[in-house]
Every structure is written in C-alpha cells, then in structure tokens.
Chain A
C-alpha cells in the first residue's frame, strides 16, 4: 500500500522567513496530494491541495509543488507569521470511490517572533 514520508519532523523559523516541508510517496497511482494544518486540540484542516495533472499551485502565501517522476511534493509557506505555528501533515490518495488519505508523520512548525 501507499507510504508517505515527511520531513522535517520539526521546523523553527523566524517570523517573515520561508518554511518548506517535503513529502515523498510510494504509490505511483496516487493522484491527489493535500496538505492539512492541525492546531492544538483540533481536527486537521485542509490548507491547499494539488492533483497529479498540475505541477504547482499557489494560494497567497502558501504554495505546493509536485514532482510525479520523483514522487515527491512540497509545501512552501512564505512570509511566515506566528499564527502559522501548528502541525502540518501531507497526505496522498488515489481518489477512487471516496478519498482515503494516507498521511505523513507531520511537521511541527514553530514561527518565532
């Protein structure tokens, strides 16, 4: 089955700097790659997603890139703010009959002001 690896496990950046989180997946049939943000005591919330027919997607300060050949995708957050501090999870899915997600282990992002 699918396996998703995520790095780094923790990331500290200064406010205003950029943050990059990387994930690799194993199943070449996966075609949907969402990123979720989880704040303490809450459920994961989708922040951005990308499908396999697209190489890059941007939404304000957040962007995701996908390299299907290498089977990896990355989350880029620019101009980080303290409220970006959270746990970020990448996930992969084949989007068949619903959307069972396989999650990475998560990255704790700390933005220092």
Chain B
C-alpha cells in the first residue's frame, strides 16, 4: 500500500539553526500539506501546496517557514531560524484532489 514517508523521524537542533524536514508524498497525489502537532495538542494546518506553489497557509506559517518541491518526488519544509516554540511533531500529508488525506508518520523536532 502506498504511503507518505518522512525523514528524519527525530531531529534535535539548537535554537537559531536551520532545519529541513523531508517528505515523499504518494506518487500520484497532487496536493501536499504540512501540519504541526505540539505535544498533547491538536493537529494544526501549516501550509498546502499545489502545482508548484503555495495554495494556502496559516498564521503559523510565517517568514521563517518555506516549502519546496525540488524534484518530482520530495516535498520539504524549511524552518530558517528555529525557535523553542517550533518544537513539535511535523506531519506531511498528501491527496489526489479532495477527499482522504494520507499522513506520514511525522518528524519530531526538538529545539534546545
């Protein structure tokens, strides 16, 4: 069964450092998303991406964040200068158009 894969599973970084989280969405999907879940809290939408551009972003997704689809398979989330409050689980998701979102296993980011 096709699945969304994410790397790394866990990353520890120092405050102020840049972090790149990587995702390989399901191959025939067209829409890609990043969500965030701070420990013990709800899953929050960050950004959606379609046709090589951002289609929607939340207030959380400020200038420190960027997304990119550098090739035909990867979808990345970059945090330019990490803050303590960026510590969370980051989930990548994808779908074909509308309907079920398929989530990856997540990348846990710990900012020290």
The interface residues of chain A lying within 8 Å CB-to-CB of B33 are 98, 100
Most chain B beta carbons < 10 A, residue from A42, A97, A102:
A97
- CB-defined contacts of B106 to chain A, threshold 8 Å: 41-43
Contacts of B91 in A (CB 8 A): 43-44
By the criterion CB–CB under 8 Å, are A34 and B45 in contact?
Answer: no
Asked whether B95 is an interface residue with its Cβ less than 8 Å from the other chain, the reply is yes
Q: What is the interface size of chain B, counting residues whose CB is below 8 A from a CB of the partner?
A: 25
Count of A residues near B, CB < 8 Å? 23
Min CB distance, A97 to chain B, in Å? 6
Cβ-neighbour of B97 out of A41, A98, A102, A103 (below 8 A): A98
- Knowing A89-B42, A100-B48, A100-B56 are in contact, say whether A43-B100 is a contact too (CB < 8 A): no
Interface set of B (CB-CB < 8 Å, partner A): 4, 31, 33, 35, 41-45, 48, 50, 55-56, 91, 95, 97-106
The chain A residues found within 8 Å of chain B, CB to CB, are 32, 34, 36, 41-46, 49, 89, 95-106
